[in-house]
C-alpha cells in the first residue's frame, strides 16, 4: 500500500482549489430500497452539481449479502470460500449499477466500477482478504473526465486474478483505502446513525453526539460493543492518516470526525461509555499455585475456539489459585465442556463455577493517560447507585467492569452523568 500511495502526486487534480475530491461510502441500509437509492443519488448529484469530483463506495442492499450466503449453503453445507467470494461480491455489483442508473436518470454522468476496475488488489484468505495495494490511476482518469464513480465496496482481486472479499462490513475498508489512494479532501461514511455518541442514546437519553473522536478511542469503543464501522477500516485509516467523518445518510447534520488525536480535541477524560449484554463468567477454583496451570486452562479454551474476554486470577486465603474469565453467554456451554477434562487433571479439588446474566460496562478516553482517579470516580458512581462490581480490567485508555446484567442500563446512565458526558466541555 505505501508503495502505491507514494506514487500519487498530492494534488493530482489541477483545478479550482475550492473544489474537492470527495469519497463517500453508503452502507446497506442507506441503499436498502429503490427509494433509498434515489435519495443517495440526489445527495451525490448535489455534490457533483457543485463541481466536486465524487467517488461513491457502496455496500450491497441490506440483507442481500446474508441472502447470498444462505443460497450458498443451500448448495453445499461447506461451500468453497473461493466460490463464496464470487457469489457474495455480486451483492455490491447490483447496488452500484442501480445507483449509477439512478444518477444517469437525473442527468449525472455516472459510471459503476467493480473492485478490480478500481484497482483494489487483495491478499490473504478468501472471505476475509486484506487490501495489498490500490492502483488508483484508472479511477483518477475517470474522475478527471467528469464522471461520478460508483465503486463496489467489499471486493478486490488477488494476484492470481481471483475475486476476494474483505470480511463482513468490508465496504468501510474499501472506502478508506480509496480515499487514501485518491488523496481525497473529504471522506464520509454515511450510515443510519448520526455519528458517534457518548453512549447509546436508546439507553442514555442525554447522550451527546461527539464532534470528534480519535482512531484509538473509536477502536476501543468498537471492541466493547459500540458498532459504528468495521474495526479493520479504522485501523487502516489510522495507519494511513485518513481523516473521515461518520454521518447520517438521511439528513444533513454534521457527524463525527474521526482523526488522529490533537491538542485542540475536546479535552475530556472520558470520551464515551459502552455496554455489552449477555456476558457470562466461568471461574475455576482450587487450582494448585504452580507454573503452567493457566496455560493448560487457556489452551483448553483456545482448542474449543472459545473467545474469552476479561481474565482475572488471584490466590485465595487457602493458598490455592482461582481464575475467572468472561465470555459471551452463547459460549458458556462449550466452555464448560472444554474445561471439564482439564480441570480434573489440575487437581482433584479443582471446580468449575459459572454465572450468566452479566453485563459489561466500559469507559473509554485518551484523557485517562494523563488523569488519575478515573477508576475511582467510575466505581464511586456505581457504588452510589448500589450497583455491585464483579470483575475489573483496564487498558491505557479503557476501564471495564462487570455488573449484573439487569443493572447495566442504570450503570451506564450513572457513569455517563458522573463524568458529565451530556455537556460539551468548556
Binding of residue 153 to ligand ASP (CB under 6 A) = yes
Binding of residue 168 to ligand ASP (CB under 6 A) = yes
Of the two residues 237 and 265, which places its CB atom closer to ligand ASP in the complex?
Answer: 237
Binding of residue 32 to Mg ion (CB under 5 A) = no
Judge whether 245 and 190 are in contact, CB under 8 Å: no
**Parallel/antiparallel/unpaired status of strands 21-26 and 186-191:** parallel
Q: Give the integer Cα–Cα distance in Å for 115 and 113.
A: 7
Q: Give the integer Cα–Cα distance in Å for 2 and 5.
A: 5
Contacting residue, 23, 55, 60, 399, with ligand ASP by CB under 6 A? 60
Judge whether 260 and 215 are in contact, CB under 8 Å: yes
Q: Give the integer Cα–Cα distance in Å for 20 and 3.
A: 24
Binding of residue 29 to Mg ion (CB under 5 A) = no
Phi, psi at residue 181, to the nearest 5°?
A: -70, -30
* Residue 323 touches which member of ligand ASP, Mg ion, none, C-beta under 5-8 Å by kind: none
Residue 169: CB minimum distance to ligand ASP, A: 5
Binding of residue 255 to Mg ion (CB under 5 A) = no
Q: Give the integer Cα–Cα distance in Å for 22 and 321.
A: 57
Pattern of binders to ligand ASP over 102-141, x per CB under 6 A?
----------------------------------------
Binding of residue 28 to ligand ASP (CB under 6 A) = yes
Please tell me whether 215 is known to bind a ligand. Answer: no
Instruction: With contacts defined by CB under 5 A, name the span among 53-61, 156-164, 266-274, 388-396 that binds Mg ion.
Output: 53-61
375: three-class secondary structure by DSSP: helix
Of the two residues 172 and 276, which places its CB atom closer to ligand ASP in the complex?
Answer: 172
Please tell me whether 25 is known to bind a ligand. Answer: yes
Measured on CA atoms in the order 219, 221, 225, 228, is the torsion positive or negative?
negative
Residue 184: CB minimum distance to ligand ASP, A: 18
Phi, psi at residue 354, to the nearest 5°?
A: -130, 155
Contacting residue, 13, 21, 24, 27, with Mg ion by CB under 5 A? 27
Residue-wise DSSP of 272-294 = EEEEEEEEEEEEEEEE-S-TTHH
Residue 172: CB minimum distance to Mg ion, A: 8
Residue 295: CB minimum distance to ligand ASP, A: 36
Please tell me whether 27 is known to bind a ligand. Answer: yes
Contacting residue, 21, 28, 88, 293, with Mg ion by CB under 5 A? 28
Q: Give the integer Cα–Cα distance in Å for 188 and 248.
A: 10
86: three-class secondary structure by DSSP: helix
Residues that bind ligand ASP (CB under 6 A): 27-28, 59-60, 65, 91, 153-154, 168-172
Amino acid at each position: 500500500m505505501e508503495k502505491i500511495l507514494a506514487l500519487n502526486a498530492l494534488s493530482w487534480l489541477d483545478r479550482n482549489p475550492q473544489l474537492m475530491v470527495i469519497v463517500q461510502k453508503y452502507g446497506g441500509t442507506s441503499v436498502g430500497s429503490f427509494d433509498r437509492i434515489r435519495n443517495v443519488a440526489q445527495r451525490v448529484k448535489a455534490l457533483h452539481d457543485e463541481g466536486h469530483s465524487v467517488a461513491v463506495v457502496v455496500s450491497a442492499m441490506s440483507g442481500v449479502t446474508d441472502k447470498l450466503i444462505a443460497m450458498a449453503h443451500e448448495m453445499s453445507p461447506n461451500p468453497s470460500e473461493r466460490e463464496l467470494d464470487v457469489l457474495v461480491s455480486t451483492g455490491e455489483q447490483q447496488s452500484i449499477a442501480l445507483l449509477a442508473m439512478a444518477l444517469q436518470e437525473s442527468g449525472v454522468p455516472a459510471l459503476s466500477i467493480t473492485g478490480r476496475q478500481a484497482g483494489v488488489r487483495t491478499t490473504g484468505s478468501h472471505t476475509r482478504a486484506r487490501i495489498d495495494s490500490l492502483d488508483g490511476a484508472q479511477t483518477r482518469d475517470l474522475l478527471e473526465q467528469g464522471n461520478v464513480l460508483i465503486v463496489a465496496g467489499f471486493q478486490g482481486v488477488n494476484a492470481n486474478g481471483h475475486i476476494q472479499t474483505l470480511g463482513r462490513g468490508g465496504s468501510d475498508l474499501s472506502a478508506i483505502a480509496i480515499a487514501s489512494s485518491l488523496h481525497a479532501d473529504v471522506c464520509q461514511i454515511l450510515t443510519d446513525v448520526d455519528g458517534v455518541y457518548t453512549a447509546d442514546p436508546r439507553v442514555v437519553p442525554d447522550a451527546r453526539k461527539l464532534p470528534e473522536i480519535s482512531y484509538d478511542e473509536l477502536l476501543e469503543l468498537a471492541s466493547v460493543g459500540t458498532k459504528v464501522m468495521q474495526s479493520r477500516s479504522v485501523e487502516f485509516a489510522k495507519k494511513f492518516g485518513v481523516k473521515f467523518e461518520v454521518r447520517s445518510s438521511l439528513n444533513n447534520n454534521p457527524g463525527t470526525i474521526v482523526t488522529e488525536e490533537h491538542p485542540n480535541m475536546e479535552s475530556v477524560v472520558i470520551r464515551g461509555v459502552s455496554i455489552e449484554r449477555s456476558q457470562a463468567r466461568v471461574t475455576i477454583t482450587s487450582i494448585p499455585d504452580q507454573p503452567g496451570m493457566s496455560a493448560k486452562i487457556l489452551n483448553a479454551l483456545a482448542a474449543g475456539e472459545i473467545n474469552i474476554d476479561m481474565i482475572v486470577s488471584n490466590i485465595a486465603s487457602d493458598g490455592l489459585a482461582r481464575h475467572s474469565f468472561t465470555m459471551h453467554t452463547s459460549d458458556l456451554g462449550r466452555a464448560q465442556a472444554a474445561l471439564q477434562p482439564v480441570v480434573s487433571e489440575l487437581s482433584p479439588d479443582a471446580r468449575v463455577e459459572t454465572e450468566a446474566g452479566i453485563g459489561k460496562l466500559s469507559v473509554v478516553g485518551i484523557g485517562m493517560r494523563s488523569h488519575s482517579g478515573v477508576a475511582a470516580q467510575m466505581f464511586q458512581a456505581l457504588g452510589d447507585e448500589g450497583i455491585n462490581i464483579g470483575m475489573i480490567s483496564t487498558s491505557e485508555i479503557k476501564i471495564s467492569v462487570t455488573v449484573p446484567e439487569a443493572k447495566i442500563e442504570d450503570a451506564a446512565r450513572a457513569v455517563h452523568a458522573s463524568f458529565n458526558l451530556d455537556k460539551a466541555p468548556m
